[in-house]
Amino acid sequence: MTTTAFKDPVREASPGAATRERRRTGRIRRAGLPYLLLLPALVLELLVHLVPMVIGIIMSFKELTQFYIRDWGTAPWSGFSNYKVSVDFNAPVGNALLHSFFVTVGFTLLSVGLCWLIGTAAAVFMQDSFRGRGLLRALFLVPYALPVYAAVITWVFMFQHDNGLVNHVLHDQLHLTGKPSFWLIGDNSFYALLTVSVWKGWPFAFLIVMAGLQNIPRELYEAAALDGAGTWQQIRRITLPSLRPVNQVLVLVLFLWTFNDFNTPYVLFGRSAPDAADLISVHIYQASFVTWNFGTGSAMSVLLLLFLLVVTGTYLLVTSRGRRASDG
Amino acid sequence: MAPSRSFTWSRRIFLTLLTGFVLIPVYVMISSSLKPLADVTGKFRWLPSGLTIRPYIDIWSTVPLARYFVNSLIVAGAATVCSVVIAVFAAYAVSRYEFRGKRVFTVTVLSTQMFPGILFLLPLFLLYVNIGNATGIALFGSRGGLILTYLTFSLPFSIWMLIGYFDSVPRDLDEAALVDGCGPLGALLRIVVPAAIPGIVAVAVYAFMTAWGEVLFASVMTNDTTRTLAVGLQGYSTLNNVYWNQIMAASLVVSVPVVAGFLLLQRYLVAGLTAGAVK
């Protein structure tokens, strides 16, 4: 998340010709060293990210069904037909993909917005010390620390139609609903997914904002208090503006994680999610592994990647943080 | 100056509601794990009709939980150690040296963060199968393949954070070590790494949690003997019955080590994020 300048002005200006001379020979002798240090990371990134990506792109141009999976190189080329199927929004496959895309966008915007809002509010409220702050801070990090499957499976239990807590509270105790609702199928599943996603995701925003708050100099608040600014005014005029660079990174990271999230919907709904909560990752998984059409699944993945590249690129260009990052 | 009354009241209300939201699932997990089966198959009850530790005994025999536990421990532990070591070297190179291709490297590493995991799943599966056929190294279905996959998940974030952290360690320190005759590795291990411990711990916690909680690759790339907890927990649902009390007990057993470790190290995490990521 950081991309400060890598050059050290102090070293650049260091005096002494002898030292400089010694450094230069040292520099030459060690010219290969940075590459050596990077080598393991490079090999792994190549093996596990870049090579599979290339394979994925190749696959998206092939007619890759279960018959060819053992020896996928022999699958016949199909040109752009996988892409045509994916973006033909009048046909079932394309139409379902478009639907899933809109569900994912809506879900991501809501989830990121809520996570950011709750996380920021909690961090700002807990900036000053009060009794029990340490305990609360630890409690608030629990959803983030819990393994996804353990946490989400608890929510599955709570959302059960007959023996779940949610229906018990909403129907039996508060009488808010006429009859017990279904939460994991039908339209309600969107809200169930959103609730779980926010519950799991907001502590990360909390953590990052908390870290960001520690970089705001106390003197700013003292000066503002002397000038007569109240607590709320200080938050609006000092805290929130100071957090802007942190927020720009935070929102991007939250967006990418939420948009690509597979674990939460997969544990919540299983291999095929209900229409209302059909996130794109699960949708592609289903297109590939359940209906056994890996070529189309790959084409969808590539389209998704292009979309994310465009969104992220635009975002980085628009935010000042991104401009600095690309200069780094 | 003391905060205003409206601020303290808003704080109380907000934090109370949030605590409820956070804790209710935790309470459900704990209380249901102590309920008899009849309690979790009927209407939900806030309080158990009778406490029992039966679920904690049964979880080990309903599914081979101990084996899944060991698998998860090996996979997540190995992935964490490897990922931290590799990230330390890479971040040191980027932080301390000027070299051709530095920007390409950092941008590439960072951009892998944005790729959907689903994009890699099938190609990686095919790649591991092909490597296995060609060299006899079993990656698919083995713990090794999963370790390899997981350690690259946390690698970009780890490198990213450690670059920032190493940048914050004064260069004069390791320059002095170099002048005094330390090799570059000596300077890294004796000066930079000790000064960057909070960042390294933060990265290790992140790597471990990522590996411990991953579901997608674990569900495709493991077999009966290498299955991790992420997949193994599904075994408590049979055709006849869903043993919710056992699921909750197992979830708790699975969570306690991670949550405890995380809470113990959370100070490091905030410190690590402050220096490394939020500058």
Q: Which residue has the higher pLDDT, A19 or B210?
A: B210
Average pLDDT taken over every residue of chain B: 88
N- to C-terminal Cα separation, chain A: 12
pLDDT tens-digit map of B49-102? 889 999 999 999 989 999 999 999 999 999 999 999 999 999 999 998 888 888
Whole-model pTM above 0.95? no
pLDDT tens-digit map of A60-98? 998 887 777 767 777 888 889 899 989 889 988 899 999
Tell me what pLDDT residue A271 has: 82
Please tell me which of the candidates B6, B18, B167 has its beta carbon nearest to residue A118: B18
Please tell me which of A76-85, A143-152, B212-221 the model is most confident about, judged by mean pLDDT: A143-152
Torsion sign over Cα A44, A45, A51, A52: positive
Query: How far is the alpha carbon of A99 from chain B, nearest alpha carbon, in Å?
Result: 18
Tell me what pLDDT residue B278 has: 61
* Window 40-69 of A, Cβ < 8 Å to B: 40-42, 44-45, 47-53, 55-56, 59, 69
Whether A150 and B29 lie within 8 Å, measured CB to CB? yes
- Say yes or no: A211 contacts chain B, CB-CB below 8 A: yes
3-state secondary structure of B139: coil
* Window 153-182 of A, Cβ < 8 Å to B: 153-155, 157-158, 160, 162-165, 167-168, 172
Query: d(Cα B254, Cα B230) in Å, to the nearest integer?
Result: 9
Tokens of A26: 């040292």
Question: In this predicted structure, which of A179-183, A321-325, B146-150 has the lowest mean pLDDT?
Answer: A321-325
Average pLDDT over residues A191-200: 97
Query: d(Cα A303, Cα A96) in Å, to the nearest integer?
Result: 14
Q: What contacts B2, CB < 8 A, 6 or more positions away? A: none
Tell me what pLDDT residue A324 has: 53
Question: In this predicted structure, which of A116-130, A308-322, B246-260 has the lowest mean pLDDT?
Answer: A308-322
**C-beta separation of A91 from A85 below 8 A:** yes
Task: Give the residue from A54, A135, A107 showing the smallest Cα distance to A273.
Answer: A107
Q: Per CATH, which fold does B63-242 belong to?
A: MetI-like fold (1.10.3720)
Enclosing H/E stretch for B108? helix B102-111
Task: Give the residue from A274, A82, A299, A272 showing the smallest Cα distance to A190.
Answer: A274
Amino acid B165 reads: Y
B269 pLDDT above the threshold of 60: yes
Chain B residue with the nearest C-alpha to that of A38: B90
Architecture of the domain whose range is A81-327: Orthogonal Bundle (1.10)
Average pLDDT over residues B26-38: 94
Which of B23, B40, B44, B265 is the mutation pick for testing A, counting most A CBs within 10 A?
Answer: B44
A121 pLDDT above the threshold of 50: yes
N- to C-terminal Cα separation, chain B: 28
Whether A214 and B270 lie within 8 Å, measured CB to CB? yes
Chain B residue with the nearest C-alpha to that of A224: B1
Whether B244 and A163 lie within 8 Å, measured CB to CB? yes
Amino acid A75 reads: A
pLDDT tens-digit map of A279-305? 999 999 988 877 778 889 999 999 999
Which of B122, B173, B262 is the mutation pick for testing A, counting most A CBs within 10 A?
Answer: B122
What is the secondary structure of A75-138 as a DSSP string? SPB-TTHHHHHHH-TTSHHHHHHHHHHHHHHHHHHHHHHHHHHHHHHHHHHTSS--TTHHHHHH
